[in-house]
Amino acid sequence: MAKVVLASALSRWLPEAGGKPSADIVVDVPGSRLDQVLDGVFARFPNLRGYVLDEHGTVRHHVAIFVDGTAIADKRRPAQALGERAEVYVMQALSGG
């Protein structure tokens, strides 16, 4: 089972946050691949899907996903295998100059 951490900035997309950023949200989700785990997160928080993934299932440019501390290599196909106790962090990507 993967531990998924949704960064506090994403909580505004979740109904229980009332549209305001709050604290990180941590959920345990079954799955052996990242896409399966993300589907489990979206089943629980459907409003988050459109913010994290586009209509093709690609991780959006403004979202960063880390598995066990390493950024995922392919945002176009987030189907990498996960270890039994993987830690997945989903957060807003920062950019600017």
Residue from 86, 58, 73, 17 nearest 9 by CA: 17
Number of residues written out for the chain = 97
Q: What is the pTM of this model?
A: 0.88
CA 3 – CA 17 distance, rounded (Å): 20
> What letter would DSSP give residue 58?
P
Report yes or no on 6 lying in a domain.
yes
Report yes or no on 35 lying in a domain.
yes
How much of the chain, in percent, has pLDDT values that exceed 90? 72
Report yes or no on 53 lying in a domain.
yes
Contacts of 15 (CB under 8 A, 6+ apart): 47
Kindly report the CATH number assigned to the domain that includes residue 71.
3.10.20.30
pLDDT of 88 above 70: yes
CA 13 – CA 37 distance, rounded (Å): 18
How much of the chain, in percent, has pLDDT values that exceed 70? 89
pLDDT for 66 equals 97
Give the chain's domain count.
1
pLDDT tens digits for range 37-78 = 999 999 999 989 999 999 999 999 999 999 999 999 999 999
Report yes or no on 97 lying in a domain.
no
Report yes or no on 37 lying in a domain.
yes
User: Contact 93/7 with Cβ under 8 angstroms?
Assistant: no
